[in-house]
Amino acid sequence: MTNTKQWSEAQGGLLKSTFMRGYEQIPVYNFLNLVQYHYLQTSKQTLNYPVRPLSLEEMDFLLTRVDPHYTKSSNISPQHFNHFWSWFGAILQKIRFHKCLLPMWTRGLFWGLISKEASEQALACHTAGTFLLRFSAKEEGAMAVAYKQSAAAVRHYLLKPKDIFENGKSLPAFVRDTCSLVQFLVLKVNPNTLQSTTVTMEKFGALDKISTTKKKKPNPDDQCGGGYDQEMKDLAMGMSEARI
């Protein structure tokens, strides 16, 4: 047992000692199996009937967090694990303890593990106002939204503490109140094949049963990084620009 702030460090130490077991390196598939197992436990899913396991695409993405040049034929060292956990541990801590995030995650309303470039590809064929939520690949534990501002433009916004913490705000409330966000691009993962598919869902219906009560204090670590808009762009403006 540990408090919320110590959870990531404590879990990282336990996981590292479990998966290495005295070995200098282990195969990638052993590493991914253990990450999947630990992720399911952290997100409070049953191991036999998970509602949202990590997909094959997500596990490939996680390998790039170990090392950009890694492949499934490579081995994982303790040094690689330390680099990986400094990023992934912060994410698991958010999934487990951030108010409202866990139910959004298990319902596929929060994609989380996808790169900026891949999110643009996923949104490319969808209408303006379609969006997905993810974790930043560079800012540890930071959350971002990728959204279609127009038929051609996908924009990115890094969520700030004032968006989801201050004055009783929450992540669901931010989505509801932001006019440029119209419909979720929802991630569905087949628990048997780990293949992923997507569907679109109108945001109010998707969030209907998710609480918006917020009691958590602002996190000073959630800062706006480079490559993101400082403010959400107006959807109508994007549509007007597309017609010019």
| Per-residue three-class SS string for 67-92 | CCCCCCCCEECHHHHHHHHHHHHHHH
Q: Is the pTM value of this prediction over 0.85?
A: no
Query: Does the pLDDT value for residue 218 go beyond 50?
Result: no
What mean pLDDT value characterizes the chain?
Answer: 86
Residue 9: its pLDDT value, please? 84
When comparing pLDDT for 46 and 167, which is higher?
46
Integer Cα distance of 93 and 15 in angstroms:
14
**Residue 232 pLDDT level (bands cut at 50, 70, 90):** confident
**For 121-141, what is the mean pLDDT?**
94
Nearest to 74 by CA among 112, 8, 25: 25
Listed range (61-70, 153-162, 222-231) with the worst mean pLDDT? 222-231
Strand 75-76 to 196-202 pairing: unpaired
Strands 130-135 and 183-189: parallel
Nearby residues of 175 by Cβ (< 8 Å), 6 or more positions away: 133, 181, 203, 207
pLDDT for residue 222:
45
Q: Which CATH class is domain 116-243?
A: alpha beta
Residue 214: the pLDDT is: 40
pLDDT value at residue 57? 95
- State residue 74's pLDDT score: 78
Q: Where are the domains of the chain?
A: 4-97, 116-243
Q: What average pLDDT does range 4-21 have in this prediction?
A: 79
Residue 104 has pLDDT above 90, yes or no: yes
Under the banding of pLDDT at 50, 70 and 90, the label for residue 217 is very low
**Residue 216: per-residue pLDDT:** 40
Q: Minimum mean pLDDT among 12-26, 82-96, 130-144, 194-208: which range?
A: 12-26
Choose among 35, 1, 43: nearest CA to 15. Answer: 35
Domain 4-97 annotated CATH 3.40.50.410: no
Residue 101 has pLDDT above 90, yes or no: yes
